[in-house]
Amino acid sequence: MYQQSINHIHHSAVVIAIDCSLSMLSYTHLHGTRMRKIDAATLIANFAIDELVARATRGNEVRNYYDIAVISYSGDGVETIIGNEYGEFIDIKPLVEHTPQPTLYTIEQQDSKGELKTTPITLHEWVKPKACGDTPMYEALISIKNLLSDWCDNPHNRESFPPLVINISDGGYSDADENEILDIARDIQELSTADGSTLFVNIHLATESKNTNHCLVFATDSDMISMDEEDTLLYKMSSILPSELERVITELTGRKRRTLFRCFARNASICEVLAMADIGTEGCHGIKYR
């Protein structure tokens, strides 16, 4: 399981869901930099798309390795940001034909001595920040379930690496209760190909007053003891990391398996999250450093 190579014959599906509700205008910290949650969410999403483009590039050719969809959920409802004219997946190659202009960002990163350094990075602005209204997370999850159900039912995708869902949120929701949210998250995780079940990743952008310098990647139950209810909900929604992918934990963090890891990150880079689906490239090389 989780062994299928991703190539032009066996694509994989990636869905990025972005909480664009009004609460995302509050502040958090990402890479040691204070910013609005919605700006952090779009930074992570743009990072992820650039990285997927880099992974699909061989020489000067972009190959159709991924089917991509990006949706937002807010007071305006659930909207397709990236997809085809029917709100469905778009292949990465035609997506790249409309690559937006690059944007320069500045983030802080720790160097080998543990000291913070200001680093400029260049990303393409595939997604722009926008925030308004309530948080229809349940409606967004229903849309993701329907999108992935159709993708997994397609015979062409039957042997493919399983889909990856990345939900970037502050943990709020306004259109369901907790049990309904957890039930639909489990339904999404049960969608599968012959190579395994959907990997559901949640990235929590915590409010800056809630110890946002406490970053987590691949959390365990013990990591969550002191966390708040928004952390806990997104953690429970996240897939348990398959044993086939556990070596990534050791490579990234040096942590060895003592208990189950979940595909949950808190105020962390998407680079570590994407690494769980080892698809034949080394490191996050989609970002260009100046």
The alpha carbon torsion through 24, 101, 9, 147 (nearest 10 deg) reads 30
Q: Which H, E and C letters describe the chain, residue by residue?
A: CCCCCCCCCCCEEEEEEEECCHHHHCEEEECCEEEEHHHHHHHHHHHHHHHHHHHCEECCEECCCEEEEEEEEECCEEEEEECCCCCCCEEHHHHHCCCCCEEEEEEEEECCCCCEEEEEEEEECCCCCCCCCCCCHHHHHHHHHHHHHHHHHCHHHCCCCCCEEEEEECCCCCCCCHHHHHHHHHHHHHCEECCEECEEEEEECCCCCCCCCCCEECCCCHHHCCCCHHHHHHHHHCCECCHHHCHHHHHHHCCCCCCCCECEEECCCHHHHHCCCCCCCCCCCCCEEC
- Top-confidence residue, 110 or 193: 193
Q: Please report which confidence band the pLDDT of residue 34 belongs to, taking 50, 70 and 90 as the band edges.
A: confident
Tens-digit pLDDT profile for residues 70-117: 999 999 999 999 998 888 999 999 999 999 999 888 776 666 676 777
pLDDT score of 127 more than 70: yes
pLDDT score of 68 more than 90: yes
| Cα–Cα dist 262/216, whole Å | 11
User: For the chain, how long is the longest CA-to-CA vector?
Assistant: 51
| Cα–Cα dist 256/259, whole Å | 9
pLDDT score of 288 more than 60: no
- Top-confidence residue, 7 or 275: 7
pLDDT of residue 290: 29
| Cα–Cα dist 171/100, whole Å | 29
- Top-confidence residue, 143 or 217: 143
**Overall fold of domain 12-289:** Rossmann fold (3.40.50)
**Taking residues 48-74, what's their average pLDDT?**
92
**Taking residues 195-217, what's their average pLDDT?**
82
pLDDT of residue 71: 97
pLDDT of residue 252: 63
120 contacts 106 by C-beta, under 8 angstroms: yes
Mean pLDDT of the chain: 85
Residue 185 CB contacts under 8 Å (≥ 6 apart), including other chains: 141, 200, 236, 237
Tens-digit pLDDT profile for residues 207-248: 887 665 567 777 788 878 777 788 899 999 999 988 877 776
- Top-confidence residue, 241 or 165: 165
pLDDT of residue 121: 84
pLDDT of residue 156: 94
Tokens of 11: 């694509």
- Top-confidence residue, 85 or 65: 65
| Cα–Cα dist 193/1, whole Å | 10
Whether the CA torsion 38, 43, 44, 45 is positive or negative: it is: positive
279 contacts 14 by C-beta, under 8 angstroms: no
**Taking residues 106-133, what's their average pLDDT?**
82
Q: Please report which confidence band the pLDDT of residue 284 belongs to, taking 50, 70 and 90 as the band edges.
A: very low
| pLDDT above 90 as % of the chain | 55
pLDDT of residue 280: 34
- Give the least confident one: 41-55, 110-124, 191-205: 110-124
Query: Among 31-45, 148-162, 213-227, which range has the highest average pLDDT?
Result: 148-162
pLDDT of residue 92: 93
